[in-house]
Amino acid sequence: MKDVKLGILGGGQLGRMLLQSALDLNLYTLVLDPDPDAPCRHFAHEFVEGSFADYETVLAFGRKCTVLTVEIEHVNCDALDKLAKEGIQVSPSPKVLRIVQDKGLQKEFYSKHGIPTADYHLISKRSDLAEFADFLPAFQKLRTSGYDGKGVVRLTDSSSFIDDAFDAPSVLESKIEFDKEIAVICARNKLGEVEVYDPVEMVFHPEANLVDYLFAPANLTQDITDRALTLAVEVAQKLRVVGLLAVEMFVTKDEILLVNEVAPRPHNSGHHSMRACRTSQFEQHLRAILELPLGVPDLTTPAVLVNLLGEEGHTGPAVYEGLPDALQVPGVYVHLYGKALTKPFRKMGHAIILDEDLNTAFEKAVFIKETLRVTA
């Protein structure tokens, strides 16, 4: 990959794992992040401290690169437009990023393209809610700036409009009675070729609205699996995304699939691929954006992923407890993100547990979660 200069907007754990894969392909790498202690800090050829949300900063950074990608969506798209015009390859495109940055635009995109999704209304301020009392129970989601369960509130009756609701542009989304939450990661290149990973099943933390465990494969009928794969590819094709697209979906009690949200980058729901699939999602993303052949995504071993979240009640420099006990368990792969500071429920790492028997893998995962703790 002579002369490729790969710029990554965002220097968190996703960027870090991208860098690990970039090393294998001998890519020249640059990372932009505002945090001087970002997880990517020491592992790129060039680390630039600065805001990926700032026009001038992104422009100056991007001009040092031949290919730009993201590990977070909340980047300055105007700068990316300009860079694309200057001939720098930007994958995913600013067009895709704009849709993904705004949950309202995302929803409208689904509607426009006939992609099944939960019913919704767009509102611009709190008082707009009044006319949707009969739409409850529902979730109100901020159109922009939400992440990892933040920026979402559950509205059960109209009294909550006053107590809990956001007074900001948001999506009011019908509460789905779902049986499962799954995710499918699809890789797509400029030619429109796709490779798709098997669905994984996500089990959320009851309080933090964060994924605790992921199961690969998901426990689905073949019919649902096939439909989920088809749907993920459909979304990727209609978005014309280049790179990865993680598609989160609900499986309703009636076995209907509804797209929840998408992310055009490596995603938490694909971390198991580092150890359990023929091609890791990180290498796959690089292959897709660098116009290399897409890798085979096949799952080679059942896997459970457990997210290592910052312990409740602990904020400060991170301490990892129980690592020796965790590493005693066969088939466990620990990936720590190198974040300097922990806080409650912050994603600090993950462990992948491989086992031919998924139940055994889950038992091990529960042990890992109890054992390997991030405190301060």
Minimum distance, C-beta of residue 89 to its own copies, in the bound complex (Å): 16
Cβ distance to its own copies smaller for residue 24 or 86: 24
- Considering only the stretches 22-30, 143-151, 206-214, 238-246, report the one whose residues sit in contact with its own copies under the rule CB under 8 A: 22-30
Binding flag, residue 296, its own copies (CB under 8 A): yes
Minimum distance, C-beta of residue 26 to its own copies, in the bound complex (Å): 4
H-helix or E-strand containing 31?
strand 28-33
Cβ distance to its own copies smaller for residue 16 or 267: 16
Minimum distance, C-beta of residue 189 to its own copies, in the bound complex (Å): 12
Burial class (CB in 10 A: 0-12, 13-18, 19+), 46: middle
From CA 197, how far away is CA 182, in angstroms rounded? 12
Among residues 107, 141, 180, 335, the one that binds its own copies under rule CB under 8 A = 335
Minimum distance, C-beta of residue 212 to its own copies, in the bound complex (Å): 20
Q: Please give the span between the terminal C-alpha atoms of the chain, in angstroms, as a whole number.
A: 42
- Considering only the stretches 88-96, 106-114, 326-334, 365-373, report the one whose residues sit in contact with its own copies under the rule CB under 8 A: 326-334
Minimum distance, C-beta of residue 187 to its own copies, in the bound complex (Å): 13
What is residue 117's DSSP assignment?
Answer: B
Tokens of 6: 């790969």
Question: What are the beta bridge partners of residue 219?
Answer: none
* Nearest by Cα to 106 from 71, 82, 141, 75: 141
Q: Is 21 helix (H, G, I), strand (E, B) or coil?
A: helix
Binding flag, residue 328, its own copies (CB under 8 A): yes
From residue 346 to residue 365, what is the string marking binding to its own copies with x (rule CB under 8 A)? ---x----------------
Cβ distance to its own copies smaller for residue 151 or 322: 322
Binding flag, residue 1, its own copies (CB under 8 A): yes
Query: How many degrees, rounded to 5, is the angle at CA 265 between CA 232 and CA 76?
Result: 125
Binding flag, residue 287, its own copies (CB under 8 A): yes
From CA 329, how far away is CA 172, in angstroms rounded? 44
* Nearest by Cα to 139 from 166, 106, 164, 172: 172
- Residues 10/72, Cβ–Cβ less than 8 Å: yes
Binding flag, residue 85, its own copies (CB under 8 A): no
What is residue 277's DSSP assignment?
Answer: B
The size of the chain, in residues, is 376
Among residues 5, 20, 151, 210, the one that binds its own copies under rule CB under 8 A = 20
Binding flag, residue 299, its own copies (CB under 8 A): no
Binding flag, residue 45, its own copies (CB under 8 A): yes
Q: Assign residue 253 a region (left: φ > 0; alpha: ψ between -120 and 50; beta: otherwise).
A: alpha
Minimum distance, C-beta of residue 245 to its own copies, in the bound complex (Å): 20
Tokens of 210: 């964060």
Query: How many degrees, rounded to 5, is the angle at CA 330 between CA 329 and CA 335?
Result: 75
- Considering only the stretches 40-48, 51-59, 168-176, 232-240, report the one whose residues sit in contact with its own copies under the rule CB under 8 A: 40-48
Among residues 48, 59, 292, 341, the one that binds its own copies under rule CB under 8 A = 292
Residues found near its own copies in the complex (CB under 8 A)? 1-2, 16, 20, 23-26, 42-45, 278, 287, 291-293, 295-296, 300-301, 319-320, 323-324, 327-328, 330-331, 333-338, 349
